[in-house]
Amino acid sequence: MKMDWQRLALALLGWLLVDQAASAAPNVVVSVKPIHSLVAAVMGDLGAPVLLVDNNASPHTFSLRPSDAEALQNADLVVYVGPDLEAFLVRPLASLAQNADILELDRAPGLSLLPVNERILAEFGEGDDDHDGAYDMHLWLDPENAGTIAAAVATELEKLDPENVQVYEANLADLRSRLNELTADLKTELLEKGSGRPIVYHDAFHYFERAFGVQSVGAVTLNPEIATSAAHLSELTAIVKANGADCVFVEPQFEPRLAELLAAEGGIATIEADPLGSQFPAGTGQYEQLLRSLADAFVACQHAE
């Protein structure tokens, strides 16, 4: 009986220590789901980051809710990609998150940034001069970048919470190991099953294409906030035929009518490919589910009828 009480006391002490660690963990706010997943993995059991852009919302068109404003006011750390992706955050960061550390990932040391896709720019009649210095902000779709992002997050958390440095480092090492396994698995899958050549909805897959050796052949729109002209849709139909496009990717954040019209005109299928992974629940597993879904979309494009 005495031993049972000792075990109970130790269990209670353990629960109290976990509770104290969780309550002492920094308040972290993250803009989009894939980044939130990486942050959640680094934080582990110490705390849960707050996600702003959830469900089928798009960072291109998102508006803050009162609960989001409150989260920013209480934040110790805000993690976002950069003003070129989350323009909605620029003013709130200055007015609401004055006491928070801000981690802008497009400036993270060691991160690989890709310029906007020149082939797709040319498709829309826009040259380098029109987008001088512009980068593709969907930088999380390269798993090497994901590891760099996680390391930058760990560094910030360790500054804010030095008592848990070892926990953050262990979580980071585990995440990097899983990212390496994921990368190897997806490369093997795409090599064995093949990958189609999609018309993407907008130029959001550049990093994924480079990381995994796949390629899109056009885009429905250069900017998802601006409607595509009928003239461009006509040009895309020609691109479908000339380049042997196998499918059209649609994204759940945007109206699919134009993509569906293009697919019908070109006699090819539409396949959902979401660079945010909105369909997957937020949390540590979301990033892996996102990349697997994109690999599956490229494979499905290859075999679409």
Is residue 22 predicted with pLDDT exceeding 70? no
Q: How far apart are CA 297 and CA 305, in angstroms?
A: 14
pLDDT of residue 244: 78
Indicate the helix (H) or strand (E) that contains 122.
helix 118-123
- CA nearest neighbour of 124 among 71, 187, 199, 186: 199
pLDDT of residue 109: 94
Distances from the Cα of 244 to the Cα of 197, 217, 268, angstroms: 7, 8, 10
pLDDT in tens, 220-252: 887 776 666 667 777 777 777 776 789 999 999
pLDDT of residue 56: 85
Query: Residue 255: which pLDDT band, with cuts at 50, 70 and 90?
Result: confident
Domains and CATH numbers, the chain: 2-116+137-181 (3.40.50.1980), 193-302 (3.40.50.1980)
pLDDT of residue 19: 47
275/304: higher pLDDT: 275
- Tell me the angle at which helices 33-43 and 286-302 cross, rounded to the nearest 10 degrees: 140
Average pLDDT, the chain: 88
pLDDT in tens, 165-177: 999 999 999 999 9
pLDDT in tens, 56-88: 889 988 999 999 999 999 999 999 999 999 999
Residue type, 231: A
Of the listed ranges 108-122, 160-174, 199-213, 233-247, the one predicted with least confidence: 233-247
List, in sequence order, every residue forming a beta bridge with 150; answer none if it has no partner: none
pLDDT of residue 20: 44
Query: Residue 264: which pLDDT band, with cuts at 50, 70 and 90?
Result: confident
3-state DSSP call for residue 263?
Answer: helix
Is residue 208 predicted with pLDDT exceeding 60? yes
Q: How far apart are CA 181 and CA 161, in angstroms?
A: 29
Q: How far apart are CA 141 and CA 204, in angstroms?
A: 9
pLDDT of residue 18: 46
Query: Token pair 């954040």 is at which residue?
Result: 253
Is residue 210 predicted with pLDDT exceeding 90? yes
Query: Residue 21: which pLDDT band, with cuts at 50, 70 and 90?
Result: very low
Q: How far apart are CA 223 and CA 75, in angstroms?
A: 31
Is residue 117 predicted with pLDDT exceeding 90? no
For the sheet with 198-202, list strands across it: 218-221, 198-202, 247-250, 269-272
pTM score above 0.75:
yes
Residues 6+ apart with CB under 8 A from 60: 85, 224, 225, 253
- CA nearest neighbour of 147 among 188, 104, 113, 177: 177
Query: Residue 12: which pLDDT band, with cuts at 50, 70 and 90?
Result: very low
% pLDDT > 70, the chain: 85
